[in-house]
């Protein structure tokens, strides 16, 4: 792969596009991402990210990282291998309690797990760093591979057996200070989805808190490919998961009018939980207040899967021609398509424009291959890069280039100076 800090030549990209979707893929996100050469399927529920796919995934991760840092998050990277000892203390090592474990045996006969979440591991770690109220609050997060032994992996990259998760855990002195941060985290999540291009379709959604609390909050993106059913209040920008739809308490707590709700399918793109003191009590994470009284730390958990978000963007925004990336997460902003033959004046003009744009700081994929124009345009549509810049004989004659907006199809002419301007 020949790549500068800002540009890449398509002739040196090892991945190839495909005309047809793989026969064993039913999810639109996987079909398009495999066809476009963004991902490769290893086996059911396991995917590799190829150069273009990794660029997009890393753009999504960067957005999430910026929003977590903005609310005081401190990034770490914990071990995937899990010691059963801490999980037995919380009662979650038992497969009857957590049924998605991948477990493995060491040569000495002892057992380890592959982390599916990290409440236990991080709580145990923080016990060595939190002793006083002066050590609180703390907000610690990571991007790390998780493993879940799903009975049926489906939905392409949105439900897999190995995946990167951004999991943040908050450590507060009491419920009130936790609630204050919880709202900041919810706002940060809303910012992530806005920046990723799906904010207008994503609702903060009340759901069951499971074993942790009365309610949790999911962030659900309205989409026909969704596995969940939600009931949304479009004016309040809130929704209810089907599981709490008949719970009178949630209406009293939110002020939502049941009669105003609209039913829709949705994809869960994030979730936030109040954990309380369940894990801190089980694993001995406590602090002393100013009077010397010891109390368990009050905790919360906040998750987003970057690949799941990527798949949701594909499901929601792609069209009949292929991928359509928002500018914020596209692998490149511009796709220069040369219509020249090797060595002719059109090819030279395209080379010059590519060099000038990358030097000016623009992120450009350059289709410098010797292929028919129709083939190049079809591939460009499939790849979904926001702007296609066509370099043909007219462009050479006028130094004015046709620029096609991938999302809207709008075509405009731009001079070299306009293309080079930031």
Integer CA distances (angstroms), 184 to 178, 179, 190, in order: 10, 9, 10
State the virtual CA torsion across 246, 248, 252, 254 in degrees, nearest 10: -20
Per-position pLDDT tens, the chain of length 422: 344 568 999 999 999 999 988 888 989 999 999 999 999 999 989 999 999 999 999 999 999 999 999 999 999 999 999 999 999 999 999 999 999 999 999 999 999 999 999 999 999 999 999 999 999 999 999 999 999 998 877 789 999 999 999 999 999 999 999 999 999 999 999 999 999 999 999 999 999 886 566 889 999 999 999 999 999 999 999 999 999 999 998 999 888 999 999 999 999 999 999 999 999 999 999 999 999 999 999 999 999 999 999 999 999 999 999 999 999 999 999 999 999 999 999 999 999 999 999 999 999 999 999 999 999 999 999 999 999 999 999 999 999 999 999 999 999 999 999 999 97
So where are the chain's domains?
A: 38-317, 332-420
* Domain 38-317: homologous superfamily in CATH: Bira Bifunctional Protein; Domain 2 (3.30.930.10)
pLDDT at 1: 39
Find tokens 């070299």 and name the residue: 416
In 289-407, which residue ranges form alpha helices assigned H by DSSP? 306-317, 345-359, 373-383, 393-398
Compute CA distances 412 → 217, 306, 396, whole Å. 43, 33, 16
* CATH architecture, range 332-420: 3-Layer(aba) Sandwich (3.40)
Looking at residue 2, its pLDDT comes to: 44
Q: Residue ranges of the alpha helices (H) in 71-196?
A: 84-90, 119-126, 175-195
> With left for phi above 0 and alpha for psi between -120 and 50, is residue 214 left, alpha or beta?
alpha
Cβ 147 vs Cβ 133: under 8 Å:
no
Cα angle at 332 between 330 and 337, to 5 degrees?
Answer: 125
């Amino acid at each position: 792969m020949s790549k500068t800090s800002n540009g890449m030549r398509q002739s040196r990209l090892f991945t190839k596009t495909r005309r047809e979707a793989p026969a064993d893929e039913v999810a639109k996100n996987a079909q398009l991402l495999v066809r476009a050469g963004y991902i490769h399927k290893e086996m059911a529920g396991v995917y590799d990210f190829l150069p273009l796919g990794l660029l997009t995934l890393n753009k999504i991760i960067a957005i999430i990282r910026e929003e977590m840092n903005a609310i005081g998050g401190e990034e770490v990277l914990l071990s995937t291998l899990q010691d059963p000892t801490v999980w037995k203390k919380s009662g979650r090592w038992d497969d009857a309690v957590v049924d998605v474990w991948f477990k493995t045996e060491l040569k000495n006969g002892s057992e380890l797990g592959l982390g599916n979440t990290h409440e236990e591991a991080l709580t145990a770690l923080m016990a060595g760093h939190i002793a006083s109220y002066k050590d609180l609050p703390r907000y610690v997060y990571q991007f790390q591979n998780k493993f879940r032994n799903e009975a049926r992996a489906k939905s392409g990259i949105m439900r897999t057996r190995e995946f990167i998760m951004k999991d943040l855990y908050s450590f507060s002195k009491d419920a009130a200070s936790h609630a204050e941060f919880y709202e900041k985290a919810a706002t940060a999540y809303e910012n992530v989805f806005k920046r990723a291009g799906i904010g207008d379709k994503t609702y903060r959604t009340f759901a069951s808190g499971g074993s942790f609390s009365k309610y949790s909050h999911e962030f659900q993106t309205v989409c026909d490919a969704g596995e969940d059913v939600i009931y949304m209040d479009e004016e309040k920008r809130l929704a209810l998961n089907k599981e709490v739809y008949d719970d009178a308490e949630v209406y009293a707590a939110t002020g939502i009018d049941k009669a105003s709700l609209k039913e829709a399918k949705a994809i869960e793109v994030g979730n936030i939980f109040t954990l309380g003191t369940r894990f801190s009590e089980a694993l001995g994470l406590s602090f002393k207040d100013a009077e010397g009284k010891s109390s368990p730390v009050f905790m919360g958990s906040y998750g987003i899967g970057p690949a799941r978000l990527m798949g949701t963007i594909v499901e929601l925004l792609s069209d009949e021609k292929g991928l359509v990336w928002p500018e914020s997460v596209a692998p490149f902003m511009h796709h220069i398509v040369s219509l020249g033959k090797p060595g002719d004046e059109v090819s030279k003009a395209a080379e010059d424009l590519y060099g000038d744009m990358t030097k000016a700081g623009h992120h450009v994929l350059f289709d410098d291959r010797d292929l028919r124009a129709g083939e190049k345009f079809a591939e460009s549509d499939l790849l979904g890069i926001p702007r296609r810049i066509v370099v043909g004989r007219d462009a050479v004659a006028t130094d004015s280039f046709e620029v096609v907006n991938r999302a809207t199809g709008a075509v405009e002419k731009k001079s070299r100076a306009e293309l080079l301007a930031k």
